[in-house]
């Protein structure tokens, strides 16, 4: 099946979209300001002879001219962490504030969890959860290397996550970076297209809807939930939002996206979605020379 071809009706320039998906992804790292600073980290890269270019929209994101950033000493010390530029968007949209309670529902291996801790100023409570026991060591190792002290790591199905260990206190903000089909990662993992199937997408949509519904339930009134995936599939994006909006007290709200993006689609293969899904943002690979991502922000009601 031509997986990329199924999404061409959704993009403004199908040829550019396909060409971008076939190019290798640039190597990008995030400066970890818990341990360092942009000035200190870039000076260290200069010292080691690794060239870098800061992203125009975020000076903490650096594109490197090496394919092995993990072998540099500033990376080893936790001053840098490998992270695709586009994957930094969901945490920025969530916008956690120092002292808040934040839940990362699907946190491993920890790029976004550590970014959330950084945005929190490593102050407050970050609960980094993952359903995969095998992925927890990587999550813990990354949080430790990056100097995160405000995080508690938990293991469990996010759909049935309990607030009991946290005195029943609901969270101020929740990130759901949901398990997905992952076509947006095609530039670093071309084989992801070989694994795509409609039945798999449908099963993932059930999982995603369950996690998002629970995320809203454990967020305080006036709080924020961000739903994100790295798939192009409307079945796992707008359709999931449409499904959950009818079951929870939350609304989709617009937000400023620092990268060029398109609005969510309100229909797909004969199915129509709640018009508010247009507030979500689709970040296509050809718009910014990045991977692909889908991001939506929900405001939680009473």
Q: Indicate if the pLDDT at residue 26 is higher than 70.
A: yes
pLDDT of residue 67: 81
Task: Report the half-sphere exposure of 41 (CA within 13 A, side-chain side).
Answer: 28
Q: With bands split at pLDDT 50, 70 and 90, how would you rate the model's confidence at 302? A: low
Of 21, 106, 180, 230, catalytic? 230
Give CA–CA dist 207/201, Å, rounded.
10
pLDDT of residue 249: 95
Q: Indicate if the pLDDT at residue 204 is higher than 90.
A: yes
pLDDT of residue 195: 86
Give CA–CA dist 96/128, Å, rounded.
14
For the question of residue 150 being annotated catalytic, the response is no
Annotation: CATH topology of 85-300: Rossmann fold (3.40.50)
pLDDT of residue 1: 77
**Average pLDDT rounded to a whole number, residues 58-75:** 93
CB atoms within 10 A of CB 209: 20
pLDDT of residue 286: 97
Give CA–CA dist 286/260, Å, rounded.
10
């Amino acid at each position: 099946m031509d997986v990329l071809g199924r999404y061409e009706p959704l993009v403004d320039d199908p040829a550019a979209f396909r060409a971008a998906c076939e190019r290798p992804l640039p190597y990008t790292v995030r400066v970890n300001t818990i341990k360092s600073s942009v000035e200190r980290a870039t000076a260290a890269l200069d010292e080691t002879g690794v060239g870098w270019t800061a992203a125009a929209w975020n000076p903490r994101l650096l594109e490197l001219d090496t394919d092995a950033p993990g072998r540099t000493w500033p990376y080893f010390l936790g001053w840098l962490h490998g992270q695709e530029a586009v994957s930094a968007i969901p945490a920025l949209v969530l916008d956690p504030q120092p002292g808040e309670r934040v839940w990362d529902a699907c946190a491993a291996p920890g790029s976004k969890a550590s970014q959330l801790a950084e945005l929190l100023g490593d102050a407050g409570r970050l609960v980094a959860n993952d359903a995969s026991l095998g992925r927890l060591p990587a999550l813990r190792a990354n949080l430790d290397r990056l100097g995160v002290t405000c995080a508690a790591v938990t293991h469990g199905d996010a759909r049935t996550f309990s607030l009991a260990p946290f005195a029943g206190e609901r969270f101020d903000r929740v990130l759901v970076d949901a398990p997905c089909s992952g076509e947006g990662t095609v530039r670093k993992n071309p084989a992801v297209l070989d694994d795509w199937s409609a039945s798999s997408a449908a099963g993932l949509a059930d999982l995603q809807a369950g996690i998002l519904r629970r995320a809203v339930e454990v967020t305080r009134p006036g709080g924020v939930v961000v739903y994100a995936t790295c798939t192009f599939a409307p079945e796992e994006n707008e359709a999931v939002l449409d499904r959950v909006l009818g079951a929870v007290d939350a609304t989709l709200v617009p937000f400023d996206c620092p990268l060029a993006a398109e609005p969510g689609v309100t229909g797909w293969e004969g199915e129509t979605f709640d018009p508010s899904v247009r507030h979500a943002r689709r970040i296509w690979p050809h718009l910014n020379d990045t991977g692909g991502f889908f991001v939506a922000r929900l405001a939680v009601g009473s």
